Structure 1
Amino acid sequence: MVEEVLDAEERASLKTRIKTLMKEQDAVLVAHYYTSADLQDLAEETGGCVSDSLEMARFGHAHPARTLTVAGVKFMGETAKILNPEKRVLMPDLGAECSLDLACPADEFTAFCDAHPDRLSVVYANTSAEVKARADWVVTSGIAVKIVKYLHQQGHKLLWAPDRHLGEYVRRVSGADMILWQGSCVVHEAFKAEALKSLHAAHPAAAVLVHPESPESVIALADIVGSTTQLIEAVRTLPNPEFIVATDNGIFHKMHAAAPGKTLIEAPTAGEGATCVSCAHCPWMAMNGLRKLAAVLESAAVGKRSANEIHVEESVGQRARRSIQKMLDFAAAEKAGRIQLGD
């Protein structure tokens, strides 16, 4: 899947039409860091949000708009709906899936939990509403270590799903007793440690930034391991003139905006001639674009049911919201100093 290519005239025309439609439908646009620069720019131009999946949903919850348009992948739209059940949630393309979500079917995850009744289940946000509903906790990459460390200190043994690389990183850092689901992200799985070593040797002044969904051998070479938000902050604050970045290259747009004078280099994946599932850009994120966003808003006039609207069954949403709320409550308590984590 290749992102849409627009000339300046079509881009301007689409943006103008989308802005009009959003006003007519009382809509706001929330976009993930991995979507196209056009969508990220449009979100910010219209008072929307560009962020990670959790902040996208939180923003939508706080915003008064009655319609949320979510540019990202399907689980992000579902999370927005779970936290905002009273709002209409639209996506440019409901076929925009996630390899982690697809690798963890709800029925298989339920069986996994049932086979280990003595363990709490902790799932990454990159999962379906049904999986979130079955889980005890939902986490994002930015808070996973803290929550797992806390649960470990409370004496809990854990199940983790779906990303095995992130799970192994969390287990290593936290010391928790964890059984890991064996899923992986098609983008982060493709980063190559030996090629990264060679690239870093050619750019010795560069800091290596790695998302924890990457393989352990790649994480071992990192100067900073962190979530999308944390990696953007590293580019902004670290003194290095160059950065080798091991995550989806859609994030480069926001990194350039945060630190315009710095050089960003893609970490190596499978080399020249790689297929789209082994390059540094998610093929499902690439399914989003201005043309599809305009089309879904055109078809979703107020009072009409859109084929691109996210629906989550009420009882599933209630159970999933409980698991997500635990994370939100933990984050608030930890920020307020009510939770202290040991070394």
Structure 2
Amino acid sequence: MSEKIVETGQVSSATTDAVDRALVRAFLAEREHHEHSEEQLLAWKNRIKQLLEQQNAVLVAHYYTDPLIQSLAEETGGCVSDSLEMARFGAQHKAETLIVAGVKFMGETAKILTPDKRVLMPTLEATCSLDIGCPIDEFSAFCDAHPDRTVVVYANTSAAVKARADWVVTSSIALDVVDHLDSQGEKILWAPDKHLGGYVQRETGADVLLWDGSCIVHEEFKAKGVADLKALYPEALVLVHPESPVAVVELADVVGSTSQLINAAKNSPNKQFIVATDQGIFYKMQQLCPDKEFIVAPTAGAGATCRSCANCPWMAMNALENLCAVLEPGGAEGHEIFVDPELGKRAMKPLQRMLDFRKPLD
């Protein structure tokens, strides 16, 4: 086993400013979504169902989106899942149009995998701090400085960053992929989430060089808050997403992707769970385990006005209102995902490796 190497790539202040500006836009957009009546919400749901059928379209939604969006996807034969299964579902479905409820990199991934399909999103403003924090120019320079390393990037990245990579992974297969590459004697350059990359490095013992990026939601979970909750609920199982800080991960009974955490809740005999990931996941957990209690892990520190703010503001920008609007005649303008064909072909190679990974490898 080679000596472990963990270094940090540098993110410029300009990149940090870009994340901050995008976060402010998301916050303002979220505040604009005022309360609607039950009649209005039902009217939008019924109209969306009609429009999906008329346009031979299917709704693909992430676990972190609004429960109303998730239930609608289920009711219409769509998909509610993590980003890996979203990609697989969209690529295999016969629909001519994919409606992706999530964040922009998910729409780009769908377009790369199915370039002949129309891919629409309720809003193209829904982005991700990991994506914004890994701009292609800076990332390419980082890769060029370490040409001896296999480039593995998290799915939460732009099409351009994916095109620069050798492998794309989601949190559900990151450990297995890096373990496989390590067994082949390869050294890894990992981007963009330093917490997930650090977790993978610790678990596999691989030689990993880390980019300095993080998720604005998961980075805010507090180890002391989780420990305090565990003292209040001693029988509760602690479920943690590996994008969380190492001090939080070390308190976990189960560390895993969204789908892995859902399966842990479903299959465990425990009746209480402390969950350190976006609160959107509670819809599926409670649906599958109606007799169990799920407690959101704290993100707030002393003096905060909320115990936990574990909601991605960009995921929250997906709503029935803008989902309906994008399906109405003329509503797709400004909501369709486009990826340069040549860039898409390059990005397709590491994405296909991700999708094929469970198959026998050469």
Normalising TM by the smaller chain, what interval? over 0.9
C-alpha distance in 2, partners of 1:51/1:272? 34
Opposite residue 143 of structure 1, the aligned amino acid is I
Opposite residue 200 of structure 1, the aligned amino acid is K
Structure-2 residue corresponding to 1:310: 337
C-alpha distance in 2, partners of 1:78/1:95? 13
C-alpha distance in 2, partners of 1:146/1:246? 22
Change (3 A) 1:300 1:78: farther
Helix, strand or coil: the match of 2:216?
coil
The structure 1 residue matched to 2:314, chosen from 284, 294, 297, is 284
Give CA deviations for 1:171-224 in whole Å, capped at 9, x if unaligned. 000111011001000000000001110111000000000000000000000000
C-alpha distance in 1, partners of 2:271/2:330? 46
Structure-2 residue corresponding to 1:326: 353
Whether the 8 Å contact between 1:68 and 1:87 is mirrored in structure 2 is yes
Opposite residue 290 of structure 1, the aligned amino acid is L
Whether the 8 Å contact between 2:242 and 2:249 is mirrored in structure 1 is yes
Whether the 8 Å contact between 1:49 and 1:56 is mirrored in structure 2 is yes
Helix, strand or coil: the match of 1:245?
strand
Change (3 A) 1:10 1:196: same
Structure-2 residue corresponding to 1:86: 116
C-alpha distance in 2, partners of 1:300/1:42? 22
C-alpha distance in 1, partners of 2:36/2:286? 21
Match status 1:181 vs 2:208: no
Identity %: 63
C-alpha distance in 2, partners of 1:328/1:210? 24
Helix, strand or coil: the match of 2:358?
helix
C-alpha distance in 2, partners of 1:139/1:202? 36
Helix, strand or coil: the match of 1:306?
coil
Q: How does 1:138-157 map to 2 (within 5 A)?
A: 138-157=168-187
Opposite residue 285 of structure 1, the aligned amino acid is M
C-alpha distance in 2, partners of 1:251/1:21? 27
Structure-2 residue corresponding to 1:219: 249
Structure-2 residue corresponding to 1:65: 95
The structure 2 residue matched to 1:270, chosen from 300, 317, 323, is 300
Q: How does 1:1-343 map to 2 (within 5 A)?
A: 1=27, 2=30, 4=33, 5-271=35-301, 274=304, 279-300=309-330, 306-333=333-360
The Cα of 1:54 is off from its aligned counterpart by 1.8
Helix, strand or coil: the match of 1:236?
helix
**Structure 1 runs not aligned, ≥5 long:** none
Helix, strand or coil: the match of 1:332?
coil
Helix, strand or coil: the match of 1:116?
coil
Helix, strand or coil: the match of 2:323?
helix
Change (3 A) 1:233 1:72: same
Normalising by structure 1, report the TM-score: 0.93
Give CA deviations for 1:269-308 in whole Å, capped at 9, x if unaligned. 02477589x820000000000000011111447xxx6210
C-alpha distance in 1, partners of 2:302/2:99? 35
C-alpha distance in 2, partners of 1:133/1:197? 41
C-alpha distance in 1, partners of 2:265/2:218? 19
Helix, strand or coil: the match of 2:313?
coil
Helix, strand or coil: the match of 2:359?
helix
C-alpha distance in 2, partners of 1:159/1:274? 37
C-alpha distance in 1, partners of 2:184/2:167? 14
Helix, strand or coil: the match of 1:68?
strand
Root-mean-square deviation (Å): 1.6
The Cα of 1:7 is off from its aligned counterpart by 2.2
The Cα of 1:243 is off from its aligned counterpart by 0.2
Whether the 8 Å contact between 1:299 and 1:306 is mirrored in structure 2 is no
Whether the 8 Å contact between 1:188 and 1:213 is mirrored in structure 2 is yes
Helix, strand or coil: the match of 1:132?
helix
Whether the 8 Å contact between 2:236 and 2:270 is mirrored in structure 1 is yes
**Structure 2 runs not aligned, ≥5 long:** 1-26
C-alpha distance in 1, partners of 2:213/2:305? 20
Normalising by structure 2, report the TM-score: 0.89
Change (3 A) 1:35 1:275: farther
C-alpha distance in 2, partners of 1:61/1:86? 11
C-alpha distance in 1, partners of 2:305/2:144? 37
Opposite residue 83 of structure 1, the aligned amino acid is L
